Structure 1
Amino acid sequence: MSSPSPAVRRPLPWLPGVLVCALAAAAAWAVHWLVPAVPLLTAAVVLGIVVGQLPVARPAVAGSLAPGLSLSARRLMRVGVVLLGLKLSLGDIAGLGWVAIATTVAVVLLSFAGTFWIGRLMRLPGHQPLLIATGFSICGASAIGAMSGVVKTKDEEAATPVALVTLCGTLAIFVLPLLWHPLGLDAQQFGHWVGAGVHDVGQVVATAQLAGAAALSVAVVVKLTRVLMLAPMVAVAAVVERRRHVEGDPAVKRPPIVPLFVAGFIVAVLARTFVHPAAVVTDSADTLQTVLLAMALFGLGTAVRLRTLVGTGWRALVTALVSWALIAVLALAAVWVSTVG
């Protein structure tokens, strides 16, 4: 009697999941094209969440597609974060003036600390306080992906913060314009408020463009100033995580002091500032970055389980909503301080 033949290992097990993520990114792009008010990356996250809830799709999501979804959520996210650096010019940021820069940095630090404290107060599990604080204070889902790569969280643990930052960022698109005139803000002040208080770059664009080109220009520069804080915040988290490993089990491989993708992000910022790459290079990198982040966020979205989130995630929802309000108030204060300055 012959022994059963060993199972044949399938080559490129990640390929099906990556292809699905690519198709989802194309679908999200189509949604954004048809409804420009819906940011592309928001559409990608929502599409991933919807697919993750479909009973017919769950076996594939947890089975044959899982390697590719995980690769997209982690590695493609990191490449997208590196390319995000090519949007940043230190010269544009310097043009805001030292008061605006200082207040923007203060908003990031205070909102990060406040959100982290609220998350701990609400007894959120694991790294959720850190991930929610990172996403809400810096640059949304892409910041969550970057931070989760440093602290080595599971996709399921990062999925809830991604869903919450997408929810609150989408709410901001509709709520902040309603408060624009009642607060007595002019167009540029409104743009500053949006850039300092809304989470994802796409959500900032969707909100600020309602006030015109001047507001959009200010909003994007202020927002990218917040994005610049991603590198030091993630680097600090990496140092803390490294010390934790040293104090825990010295035999465990320690994370690098500065993760490779963070170093790549810094190099990209410096290249945009001093090398001045051609427009075709920056435009191509921007398109690729958007595609990669859309694929990554779809992958993360499929890990969200709404039933679990609704049943046990009320503390995370409260944390997110309080953080959203906190950042909006801090950002408005930054606008007023910058105006006086």
Structure 2
Amino acid sequence: MKQNARTPRRKNQSSFIIGISLTILIAGIAKYLSLLPFFSIMGELVIAILIGVIWRSTIGLPKAFLSGTEFSSKKLLRVGIILLGFRLHLGDVSQVGPTVFLLASISLVFTLVVVFLLTRVFHVETRLGILTACGTAICGAAAVVAIAPQIKAKNEEIAIGAAIVAILGTMFTILYTVLFPFLGLSANGYGIFSGATLHELAHVVAAAAPGGDAAVDLAVVVKLTRVALLIPVALVIGFWYYLSQTEKQDKPSFRSLPIPWFIIGFLCTSALYSLGIIPNFIADTLVGLSYLFIGTAMAGLGLNIQLSSLKQFGLNPLAASFIGSILLSLVGYLLIHLFGLV
């Protein structure tokens, strides 16, 4: 009996390890391909996403492996972002200050309102509309998951909301890397633009990579500013949705919100690097390790995108988010020029 009980557990552990190993394999292939002339334009992180999406759509992915790929796309991503702080000197970005916060706030509020109104126009169910708007405006799937308990969203709605922002985030990441030479932005301007307008933190890092280290550093700072606004936005939306329910039994109960601790970790590693406590050779090694983790996260993100899942709720929420993402990019680009951050 004990042997039989251990067998499923061992299978689950093996599947978990295989899932993670698959993301590492894809990240390695992406790293190699990024050294080739044509693929070097996109960079290893974008390539990792594409390979993951293509793999899932063609070869397929056993359900048992999803625990491993999701671990890479969520947990390893956060570890990678924390370690990425060892390349960011806070003194280099302190001069941006309130301008970054203002730009990020305007972009967030604009997108939140516009995408939700678009979901109304496209007759998307209210809960899914809220999730789609929050995922597009704030920080992708993390925002979808954080907002879901506040509005009592169903599992299917959470899944489609996360899928939409993952798919669109991937599309716009690739588009940004292609358009980078034609945008007329400096490395700093492009980094701020990427951080203010893309969905997932991983997408931001991947898209900003062609602009160099300075672009990635500023992109992460701007994106983390948007992520930091998740908690107050979630509280406001939860309270609004609570008041909007006419039937008491339909009202959601308030639950504890997940605190994005990786933001604190990123700031701590940045502070250590800025204070000169960590030698440069160690910091460089940790940054290299961070890209390995982020690469596996990108692969996991691609592997978790199931294109067929869009059929369940139709293309309306995707259309609303797509239009909203275009408008977000345009507004972000205009704000970069308005604030003189070109």
> What is the TM-score of this pair, normalised by structure 1?
0.72
* Aligned twin of 2:90: 90
Structure-2 residue corresponding to 1:22: 24
RMSD: 4.0
Of 41, 57, 61 in structure 1, the residue corresponding to residue 60 of structure 2 is 57
Unaligned runs of 5+ in 2: 149-154, 199-203, 243-250
Specify whether residues 145 and 40 from structure 1 end up closer, same or farther in structure 2 by C-alpha distance, changes over 3 A only. farther
The 1:188–1:114 alpha-carbon spacing in structure 2 relative to 1, beyond 3 Å, is same
For 2:60 and 2:187, how far apart are their aligned partners in 1? Answer: 45
Match of 1:170 among 161, 171, 174: 174
Identity of aligned residues (%): 18
Shift, 1:9, TM fit: 3.1
Do residues 228 (structure 1) and 201 (structure 2) align?
no
Distance, in Å, in 1 between the alignment partners of 2:93 and 2:72 is 31
What is the Cα deviation at residue 115 of structure 1? 3.4
Q: Which runs of 5 or more structure 1 residues have no equivalent in the other structure?
A: 210-215
CA deviations on 1:146-181 (whole Å, 9 max, x unpaired) are: 435535776665233111111022123334644x4x
What's the counterpart of residue 333 of structure 1?
Answer: 334
Q: Deviations over 1:55-79 (max 9, x none)?
A: x534xx213x232123223322332
For residues 221 and 33 of structure 1, what CA distance do their matches in structure 2 show? 22
Q: 2:48 aligns with which of 44, 47, 53?
A: 44
**For this pair of structures, how many residues does the alignment match?**
314
Tell me how far apart the structure 1 counterparts of residues 185 and 264 of structure 2 sit (CA, whole Å).
38
What does residue range 73-152 of structure 1 map to in structure 2 within 5 Å?
73-96=73-96, 98-99=98-99, 102-119=102-119, 121-124=121-124, 133=133, 136-137=136-137, 143-148=139-144, 150-151=146-147
Amino acid corresponding to residue 38 of structure 1 in structure 2: M
Offset of residue 321 of structure 1: 3.0
Letter matched to residue 161 of structure 1: V
Structure 1: distance between partners of 2:256 and 2:33: 39
Q: Aligned equivalents of 2:145 and 2:7: distance in 1?
A: 31
Normalised by the size of structure 2, how large is the TM-score? 0.72
1:68 has 2:64 as partner:
no
C-alpha distance in 2, partners of 1:225/1:190? 13
Q: Distance in 2 between matches of 1:76 and 1:90?
A: 24
- Answer whether contact 2:80 2:290 (CA < 8 A) is retained: yes
Q: Secondary structure at the match of 1:304?
A: coil
